[in-house]
Amino acid sequence: MEYRRSHDPRANIKTKTSSWRVFFILLLAVVAIAQPDLDFIHDVTSPDGPLHSDGFCSNGTMQSPININVPLSPVNYSLPVSPDTKYVTANASLSNNGFSPQLVGPFGNFTIGNKTYDFVNLHFHRPAEHTLNIITRYQLEMHIVHMNADGERAVIALFFTLGASSPFLSQFFHLLPQIEEIGDPPVLVPNLEPSFSMSGKYARYLGSLTLPPCTEGVIWTVMLQPNTLSTQQLAQFISSFPDESARSVQPGNGRVVQISPSEWTQF
């Protein structure tokens, strides 16, 4: 079964209202700068881990994750309404990557403009790494990592918030106890369906990997409408992966975050 979504790139206002808007913008700037980099709590013994996270991780200017200020981000009407993904049902290998369950398999690709990025892996961060409008941080963030023939990366981020049980997560969350330890053998997940939702608007910006070596030049597509997972599913995740694994929000450094158009406003 193929799951296809649809291309891309790269008055008068009252004084009181205006003052609040200025205050909100200044608050965004202060929070972005003040965020301490308390990340990389996982795999502290790795030579590429937190004790050795120099290079881009310390000195990069386009680091991820960031806060996405949706009301102040411009709409780019040249963006497609939906990300152009072609995901298919396939057998998956489920393993422990050191901080999260990770899935690999021949799940399809993601096209941006005239470049196609093949699926590399899918993993999670708890809590979510990206924040929305400063105050919104979801319980879980799923990263679908892709790479093209030139080694360029594109990542789709999906949020999960508490609500109805996720049909997608239910296909493999019951297997998490089998991969709780690093080094546990991978577990087969047969016929995994990419049944998560990618509806609604998304944010597009240029950033980095959120793990060492924090390579920059990554095209991020952050879906703004969250999927849901049940309280039981979140408990399953925490039981097998109890450590938080979210990198702190990084400074925007003047980067422009663009928002996709609604279906009825696209020209």
| Structure confidence by residue, pLDDT tens digits, 30-51 | 333 333 333 444 454 455 554 3
pLDDT of residue 170 exceeding 90, the answer is: yes
Tokens linked to 213 = 């070596």
In a domain? residue 42 = no
In a domain? residue 249 = yes
Amino acid at 13: I
pLDDT of residue 54 exceeding 90, the answer is: no
DSSP letter, residue 72: G
Instruction: Name which of 29-38, 59-68, 72-81 the model is least confident about.
Output: 29-38
Total structural domains within the chain: 1
CB 142 within 8 A of CB 87: no
In a domain? residue 45 = no
Under the banding of pLDDT at 50, 70 and 90, the label for residue 6 is: very low
Q: 160 has which bridge partners? A: 140, 227
Name residue, tokens 């981000």.
73
Report d(CA 23, CA 14) in Å as an integer. Answer: 14
Task: Check residue 267 and give its pLDDT.
Answer: 40
Element (H, E) at 220: strand 216-223
In a domain? residue 38 = no
In a domain? residue 44 = no
Is the bond leading into 127 cis (omega within 30 degrees of zero)? yes
Task: Check residue 1 and give its pLDDT.
Answer: 53
Mapped onto helix, strand or coil, the DSSP state of residue 136 is strand
Mean pLDDT of 192-211: 97
CB 202 within 8 A of CB 130: no
In a domain? residue 50 = no
DSSP letter, residue 177: G
pLDDT of residue 2 exceeding 70, the answer is: no
In a domain? residue 27 = no
- Global pTM reads 0.82
pLDDT of residue 8 exceeding 80, the answer is: no
B/e letters for 133-169, b = 16+ CB within 10 Å, e = fewer, are eeebbbbbbbbbbbbbeeeebbbbbbbbeeeeebebb
Task: Check residue 33 and give its pLDDT.
Answer: 32
Under the banding of pLDDT at 50, 70 and 90, the label for residue 19 is: very low
pLDDT in tens, 125-150: 999 999 999 999 999 999 999 999 99
Mean pLDDT of 87-112: 97
Q: Which domain holds residue 147?
A: 56-259
Mean pLDDT of 209-228: 96
The CATH number that applies at residue 129 is 3.10.200.10
In a domain? residue 24 = no
